Chain A
Amino acid sequence: MNRRSDIWLAYFMILPVVAAVLAFVIGPTWDVITLSLTQFVMGQARGFGTLVNFKALLADPVFPVVLKNTAIWILGGTVACVLTGLCVGLFLAIDSKLTGALRALILLPWVLPDVVTAMAWKWMLHGQVGIIGDSFSRMGVTDGPISFLGNPDMVMWILVLILVWRKMPLVALILCAAIRAVPAEQIEASRMDGANAFHRLRYVILPNIAFSLTAVTVISMIWITAEFTLPWVTTGGGPANASQIMATYIYQQSFQFFNWGVGSAMSVVNLVFLMLVVGLYLYINRRSWAAGGNA
């Protein structure tokens, strides 16, 4: 075959993917952007080309709380997931019977459905009947049961903990695989040069797994941004909006209040925020990405 027919074949082969991306990514995104610039009155579209939804968003006293909570959720959740995942991954990378078994068992939280996870944690953390607060109380750690999810100062961080419990295992396994792929001779050479465990981690292992670390961080951030069921079922955004995040507030505006314009405006803000964070992260890590990609 000549070069021209090769090119056409290539286009033909990628056509299904391009069509799928257009239909399921570009199309809905475009739709959301146009919706965000449309005013809806009584459920009917009344005029395109308005910023009324964005203005309403800026005037909404709940929105700053939502932004703050979302930052804790996405950034705190991602950092916590990746750091604990790295620690657990380092441990699992050690060859032993125990770690062999743990590598399989650790996936249990990952395979549980979101709703089951949320309901189980909700009841374990409940202020009146929760086993965790009751255990603390019986051990004398606290004076009485603690209402973890009913405390507005605590609830977001508790949600992040649940998130880490749920998402961290896969992060740990991916990083474990990357760590186990680090050439043994490099680690051995550094040990012979007198490097201690921290130095081996810092100067040998981390540079080698930088590609995986970057990828898993970006993927985690996207997963966490899209996560809706866990916070919604666990707290419903409460108490008093203390755990209201973008995903739950978009749902509330769109499907409970029928305020589609504002819901779409928030989705656009969410998209821009995510693109900025991911773009910044990829920019900072472009060298390690390239190095990993070439490795």
Chain B
Amino acid sequence: MKVNVNRRAFLAGSTAMAVVALAPAGPALAATGALSVWKFGGTPAEVEAWPAANERFLAENAGVELNYSFFNGQIRRQKLLAGFQTNKLADVIIAFGQDIPEFAGFGMIQPLDDIAGDQIAGWKERMVPEVLNAGMHEGKLYGLPTYVDMSAFIAIDSDAMAEAGFDRPPATWSELRAYAKAMTKPDRPGIAFPATTAPVDINIFEGIAYANGGRIFDEATGQVRLNDAGVVDALQLYADLIADGSTPSGNSMTETNFRDTAQLFGQKRAAMWIGLSWLNTPWGVQEGMNWQGAPFPKPDAPSGAYPPVAAIMDGTAVLMVSSRTQNPEAALAYIDFWSQDAQLNIWGGNPEIARVPAGKAAWKEAGLAKAWPAWVASYEAGTLFDGAEPMPRFIGVSAVESALATAIQQVVLGQKTPQEALDEANAAAQAQIDLLRG
């Protein structure tokens, strides 16, 4: 059979076929228009690195007018609430994973599943599943985490440890008490822990309590669980360390937050300190000081009613899309940009190495393996996130954590026993939860 096809018809037909064939695989329409981004909190290196990455975003998205603002992490609720009430919320909010349930419950943010379409497949491909899950709430993805912090960890002055006759970090609570006592000198306590009302200080304690099988809230029953054995015994550990004479005075720890405690450790004013996974990396230590980080020792016999966790984790730079955004295309383009390997590679080579990376490719970086070999080995063995759970997140979490902070301070000050303080905190927090949830 002979088919008569002239040149013009052939060109028109083949072009049409090419367009049809290539259309789904081609790049999405470039985002345009105004895009406002509010970022809350971050370490000094992160605060510097983020605007530099924004420049790369603008180079790739020339049609977007990016209005980026950075704010202190502690004012994020106030700022976002004001923005929400006055219809001036940014298109993209970069806040903490712990905020997601409340922001979602109040209608401030929208599920990415509903607007991101097939972009989510790319995110899943590039990101560590456990970290991406930290952006989930009630089965939907509300935020894209760029890293997570884990709790609880311990920083140890290696020279002080060797001087006390130990050759490895403590592995259990009873060992920790023995180490802390042995490493205490008249002018240098063996261990310090932050006990202010700062959220990070509370997260540090929660990491210890959750590893003991404690939980602060049971979502299934709507009950606050602060006075369960898992939490009470974890607080007893704080009380024991103080009673052993291994810490600074309780009074001074209630005015010394995580950052200050890290700096005291870095100045050799404490031989160990309890913190999140980043420990001293954002602030450094004295020149020549040998120190190491290790997971916080485990309880000798977990006493809580829930399964003990290996660690709890949360992202503090989770990208969310406002429910009031007028430019979802640009907002998604920005989030997709941050899901790329180049951005997830721990701030473009800046040694912000104590953030637990969210990108799979970041785990192959030589710098990370050199700084945290145990993490990388554990990740490659598939055990790093085994038994790790998100940090507490539910509507009313701030009220419960505030009551917990008060209980911690009462115990650290010697005003009450852990059981008494947590019984009172439980009742106060439950009242707040009931009011908030109706």
**Interface set, chain A 254-288, CB cutoff 8 A to B:** 254-259, 261-262
Q: Once the chains are docked, how many angstroms separate the CA of A40 from the CA of B107?
A: 14
Q: Does A235 contact B (CB under 8 A)?
A: yes
Give the most central of A145, A237, A258: most B CB within 10 Å. Answer: A258
| Main DSSP-derived SS at the B contact region | helix
Q: Once the chains are docked, how many angstroms separate the CA of A256 from the CA of B402?
A: 9
Nearest residue, chain A, Cβ from B107: A43
Q: Does B398 contact A (CB under 8 A)?
A: yes
Nearest residue, chain A, Cβ from B438: A41
**Interface set, chain B 29-80, CB cutoff 8 A to A:** 77-78
Q: Once the chains are docked, how many angstroms separate the CA of A252 from the CA of B410?
A: 19
Q: Does B292 contact A (CB under 8 A)?
A: no
> B residues within 8 A CB of A127?
248-249, 251-252, 255-256
Q: How many residue pairs, one in A and one in B, have C-beta atoms under 8 Å apart?
A: 117
> B residues within 8 A CB of A147?
249, 251-252, 254-255
Q: Once the chains are docked, how many angstroms separate the CA of A147 from the CA of B247?
A: 14
| Main DSSP-derived SS at the A contact region | loop
- Contact between B402 and A60 (Cβ–Cβ < 8 Å)? no
> A residues within 8 A CB of B396?
257
- Contact between A43 and B106 (Cβ–Cβ < 8 Å)? yes
Q: Once the chains are docked, how many angstroms separate the CA of A62 from the CA of B425?
A: 10
> A residues within 8 A CB of B249?
127, 147, 150
Q: Considering only CB atoms and an 8 Å cut-off, how many residues of chain A contact the other chain? A: 41
Q: Once the chains are docked, how many angstroms separate the CA of A241 from the CA of B405?
A: 10
> A residues within 8 A CB of B248?
127-128
Minimum CB–CB distance from B333 to chain A (whole Å) comes to: 29
Nearest residue, chain A, Cβ from B78: A255
Choose among A62, A126, A238, A259 the residue that contacts B409 (Cβ–Cβ < 8 A).
Answer: A238
Q: Does A29 contact B (CB under 8 A)?
A: no
Nearest residue, chain A, Cβ from B255: A150
Interface locus among B12-20, B153-161, B337-345, B427-435: B427-435
> A residues within 8 A CB of B395?
42
Q: Does B105 contact A (CB under 8 A)?
A: yes
Q: Does B182 contact A (CB under 8 A)?
A: no
Q: Does A229 contact B (CB under 8 A)?
A: no
- Contact between B197 and A152 (Cβ–Cβ < 8 Å)? no
Q: Considering only CB atoms and an 8 Å cut-off, how many residues of chain B contact the other chain? A: 43
Nearest residue, chain B, Cβ from A251: B78
> B residues within 8 A CB of A236?
196-198
Q: Does A174 contact B (CB under 8 A)?
A: no
- Contact between B410 and A42 (Cβ–Cβ < 8 Å)? no
Q: Does B378 contact A (CB under 8 A)?
A: no
- Contact between A239 and B81 (Cβ–Cβ < 8 Å)? no
> B residues within 8 A CB of A126?
252, 255-256, 260
- Contact between A240 and B415 (Cβ–Cβ < 8 Å)? yes
- Contact status of A150 and B105, CB under 8 A, knowing A41-B438, A62-B428: no
> A residues within 8 A CB of B102?
43, 258
Q: Once the chains are docked, how many angstroms separate the CA of A43 from the CA of B197?
A: 24
> B residues within 8 A CB of A129?
264, 269
- Contact status of A240 and B77, CB under 8 A, knowing A42-B105, A257-B402, A262-B435: no
Q: Once the chains are docked, how many angstroms separate the CA of A17 from the CA of B232?
A: 58
Q: Does B253 contact A (CB under 8 A)?
A: yes
**Interface set, chain A 223-243, CB cutoff 8 A to B:** 235-241
> A residues within 8 A CB of B250?
150
Q: Does B406 contact A (CB under 8 A)?
A: yes
Q: Does B384 contact A (CB under 8 A)?
A: no
Q: Once the chains are docked, how many angstroms separate the CA of A122 from the CA of B254?
A: 12
Choose among B251, B269, B398, B402 the residue that contacts A239 (Cβ–Cβ < 8 A).
Answer: B251
Nearest residue, chain A, Cβ from B436: A259
Nearest residue, chain A, Cβ from B427: A61
Q: What 0/1 pattern do residues 251 to 289 of B give for CB contact below 8 A with A?
A: 111111000100010000100000000000000000000
Q: Once the chains are docked, how many angstroms separate the CA of A256 from the CA of B415?
A: 26
> A residues within 8 A CB of B428?
60-62
Q: Does B168 contact A (CB under 8 A)?
A: no
Sample of 4 more A-B contacts, CB < 8 Å, known A39-B438, A241-B406? A41-B437, A127-B248, A147-B255, A255-B81
9 pairs, A vs B, C-beta closer than 8 Å: A43-B107, A52-B435, A59-B431, A150-B255, A152-B413, A235-B255, A240-B406, A252-B402, A256-B398
The 10 closest A-B pairs by CB, nearest first: A127-B252, A41-B438, A150-B251, A43-B106, A147-B251, A239-B254, A240-B409, A255-B78, A147-B252, A150-B255
Residues of A within 8 A of B (CB): 39-44, 46, 52, 56, 59-62, 122, 126-129, 145, 147, 149-152, 235-241, 251-252, 254-259, 261-262
